[in-house]
Amino acid sequence: MKPIPITDYSACNALGRTREEIQARLIAGRSGLEKCTYPLAFETYAGAIPGDFEPLPRNLGEWDSRALRIVYHLLRSMEPTWRAMMTRWQPERVAILMGTSTAGIDNTENAFEHLVQNDALPQNYDLWKHHAYGAVLDLIRQVTGAQGPAWVVSTACTSSAKTFASAARLMESGMIDAAFVGGVDTLCSMTLQGFHSLSALSEQPTRPFSKERQGINIGEGGALMLLEREGDATAYLSGVGESSDAYHIAAPHPEGQGARLAMQRALQSANLQAEDIDFINAHGTGTELNDAMESQAIRELFPTPPPVFSTKGWTGHTLGGAGATEIALCLLALEHQMLPASLGADPVDPALAIDVLSAPRSGTFRRALSNSFAFGGNNISVILQHHEAHHAKV
């Protein structure tokens, strides 16, 4: 595929509400995970976005929910860039491609609690505007004026990573010139209960790739990128690889066959070799099975595995928002030429036999690969390229 300029991006998660806040926490080594305050019958840690969001403006109030407040915040964070983008391209050729897995479930949980206590739903509750996936599309249309192809991807933990594949296909087909691409998820009781029932939730802060790993923590947040056919790029989307091994509804393929295939296809898409990748932001959930299979897939594809880290020890697993969140963290690493530690990995499991970063590392990093894997064997790998490396190659 032809590299696609990423002209701006914004992120919001447990580390902070802006790129600057997130980078500062990464440098300071301060995780966003804290003890979960939800009323649960078990203990765990979670990655909640710090502070509260103001309600949406009056003209957008009918869509008001936590998930859409986050998206509105992401839009506001890069408003000058997307306004310039909307003047460069015809509105009907600007797509909106978003990923989520929980959407507005937290609103529905609160509405159901109100129903139990008061024998009626809240007067202002609207299933389609406060819960349904499509609400995020309506919000972005209203705020930006984009009128191109628009859809929400919901494939569990690959949801927002797969939006980049959608953008690449639409761009390559000639259907669009630009796109809002990303995803969001919020904390909710159902997700916490669900992962606990799978015995996948850790009572302590998650420790991806550690010999002592015990499971995941859930987080919330999102990220939004502007992709344009031409533009002043902060970085480039260079390759996308997808696979679906359908090994098990909840467990990954033990040998990482689908994971390896997704990474291999991403390299082919970008016309790169394994040795061209400078670091990998792993899916790295901190579960016994995921980290073992992902490490095996990396070892088999990369003769000399590059540095590997997982950012879930910083933010928690943001589920449908994880792909976009971790792509944004890769962009930060390329921008600042500093890789974050895989927080909690020490002592690294020696059986994994890959170069897991237990401390930050500076250097020259040109290309990154970001992995996202999901229930049902749904896998996607995304390759990003520093803008200087792109121009040097051209």
CATH of the domain at 365: 3.40.47.10
pLDDT value of position 7: 98
The mean pLDDT of 96-106, rounded to a whole number, is 94
What does DSSP say about strands 378-386 and 235-244: parallel, antiparallel, or unpaired?
A: antiparallel
Reading the block at residue 269, the tokens are 């898409």
State yes or no: pLDDT of 393 exceeds 60: no
Query: Residue 343 sits in which domain range?
Result: 4-393
Query: Which of 374, 310, 326 is closest to 157 using CA atoms?
Result: 374
What does the alpha-carbon distance between residue 93 and residue 164 come to, in Å, rounded to a whole number? Answer: 16
Model pLDDT, residue 389 = 64
Per the prediction, the chain carries an average pLDDT of 95
For residue 183, what pLDDT is reported?
Answer: 98
Report the number of distinct structural domains present in the chain.
1
Cα–Cα distance between 123 and 102 in angstroms, integer?
22
- Report the pLDDT value the prediction gives residue 392, as an integer from 0 to 100: 59
Catalytic positions, written as ranges? 157, 283, 317
Q: Is 331 left (phi over 0), alpha (psi -120 to 50) or beta?
A: alpha
Per the document, the length of the chain is: 394
Q: What is the structure's pLDDT at 146?
A: 98
Residue 288, pLDDT > 70, answer yes
- The pLDDT of residue 190: 93
Q: What is the pLDDT of residues 117-167, one digit of tens each?
A: 999 999 889 999 999 999 999 999 999 999 999 999 999 999 999 999 999
Number of H helices, E strands in the chain: 13, 15
What's the pLDDT at 391?
56
Q: Which range is least confidently modeled, 38-47, 205-214, 234-243, 247-256?
A: 247-256
- pLDDT the model gives residue 249: 76
State pTM to two decimals: 0.96
Q: What would you report as the CA-atom Rg of the chain, rounded to the nearest whole angstrom? A: 20
CA nearest neighbour of 133 among 157, 150, 121? 150
